[in-house]
Amino acid sequence: MDVKLGNSQASDYQVLVDLFKDWREFETPPTVDGVPDYTAERFDNAQDAFKKLQQRLHSISIEDWPLSDQIDWHVVRAEMNGYDFNYRILKPWARDPAFYQTVHMEQSDVPAHEGPINHATLEFWQYEFPLTETEEKRMKGELEVIPTLLSQAKKNLIGNARDIWIAGINNLDVQVQDLDVIADRVGSHSRDASLLSVLRKAQEATKDFVSYLEEEAPKKTGPSGIGKENYTWYQQNVHLLSVTWEDEVNLLTRALDRAWSSLKLEEQQNKDLPPLVAANTIEEFDVLTELGVQRMMNFLTDKEIMDIKSNMEPALREHRGTFIPESERNFFNIGMHYDPLPLFSHFYHWFDLAKVRDEPHEKLIRRGPLLYNIFDSKNEGIATAVEEMFMHAGLYQDSPRSREIVWIMLAQRAARGLGSLYAHANELSMEEAGQVHVKWTPRGWMKREPHLMRFEQHLYLRQPGYGTCYITGKYVIERLLAEWAELLDKQNKPFVMKDFMNAFNNVGNIPVELVRWQMTGNKPNFKKWA
Q: Mind listing the pLDDT tens digit for each residue in 116-141?
A: 999 999 999 999 988 999 999 999 99
Query: 455 and 463 in contact (C-beta within 8 Å)?
Result: no
| Residue 37: alpha-carbon gap to chain centroid | 25
Q: Mind listing the pLDDT tens digit for each residue in 340-360?
A: 999 999 999 999 999 999 999
Q: Mind listing the pLDDT tens digit for each residue in 177-223?
A: 999 999 999 986 677 778 999 999 999 999 999 999 999 999 999 99
pLDDT at 528 (0 to 100): 56
Q: Mean pLDDT across the chain, nearest whole number? A: 95
Q: How far apart are CA 274 and CA 354, in angstroms?
A: 38
pLDDT at 4 (0 to 100): 43
Query: 180 and 204 in contact (C-beta within 8 Å)?
Result: no
Q: Mind listing the pLDDT tens digit for each residue in 15-60?
A: 999 999 999 999 999 999 999 999 999 999 999 999 999 999 999 9
In this structure, which amino acid lies at residue 482? A
Q: Which pLDDT band, with edges at 50, 70 and 90, does 9 fall under?
A: low
pLDDT at 10 (0 to 100): 56
Indicate whether 285 pLDDT > 60.
yes
Backbone angles phi, psi at 284, to 5 degrees: -65, -40
So where are the chain's domains? Answer: 10-95, 97-219, 228-520
pLDDT at 436 (0 to 100): 95
pLDDT at 530 (0 to 100): 54
Tell me what percent of the residues of the chain surpass a pLDDT of 70.
Answer: 97
Indicate whether 7 pLDDT > 60.
no
Kindly list the distances between the CA atom of residue 421 and the CA atoms of 257, 450, 503, in Å, as whole numbers in the listed order. 17, 19, 32
pTM of the predicted model as reported, rounded to 2 decimal places: 0.95
- Exposed (0-12), middle (13-18) or buried (19+): which is 499, by Cβ within 10 Å? middle
Q: Over the Cα atoms of the chain, what is R_g?
A: 24
